[in-house]
């Protein structure tokens, strides 16, 4: 019968603490993931439900980072300041802008 030394017990405790930390990290990710809602057909970003803020889908999918995105530009697009991802936050605005551009180009080329 072998005797367990204090060093063996300390090593086992350290390994168990590491396992617990990894499990807590994974649990926190799953708790966080439950609070993320995918967007609808009108925009590309996700919602972080606890704060009701729009977050970058690229940062969330790749790095599990909650990076808020702003939809204050009036062009229908947002750009993530962290990763540079550009997506649509309002397809209706895009349609309006596209219609305006089409009208302008038609007027320019039809007048010649």
In order of 98, 100, 102, the CA distances from 111 in angstroms are 20, 17, 14
Q: Is the dihedral of CA 32, 37, 43, 44 positive or negative?
A: positive
Q: pLDDT tens-digit profile of 25-43?
A: 888 888 777 777 766 666 6
pLDDT (0 to 100) of residue 26: 87
Q: Which of 4-8, 15-19, 99-103 has the highest mean pLDDT?
A: 15-19
More confident residue, 68 or 51: 68
Confidence tier at 24 by pLDDT (50, 70, 90): very high
Where are the domains positioned within the chain?
A: 1-34, 37-110
Q: What is the pTM of this model?
A: 0.56
Listed residue (26, 72, 36) closest to 57, CA to CA: 36
């Amino acid at each position: 019968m072998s005797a367990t030394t204090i060093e063996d017990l300390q090593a086992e405790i350290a390994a168990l603490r590491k396992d617990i930390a990894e499990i807590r990290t994974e649990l926190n990710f799953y708790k966080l993931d439950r609070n993320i809602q995918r967007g609808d057909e009108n925009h590309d970003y996700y919602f972080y439900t606890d704060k009701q803020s729009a977050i970058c889908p690229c940062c969330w999918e790749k790095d599990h980072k909650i990076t808020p995105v702003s939809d204050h530009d009036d062009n229908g697009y947002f750009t993530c300041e962290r990763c540079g991802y550009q997506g649509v936050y309002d397809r209706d605005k895009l349609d309006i802008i596209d219609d305006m551009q089409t009208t302008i180009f038609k007027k320019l080329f039809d007048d010649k």
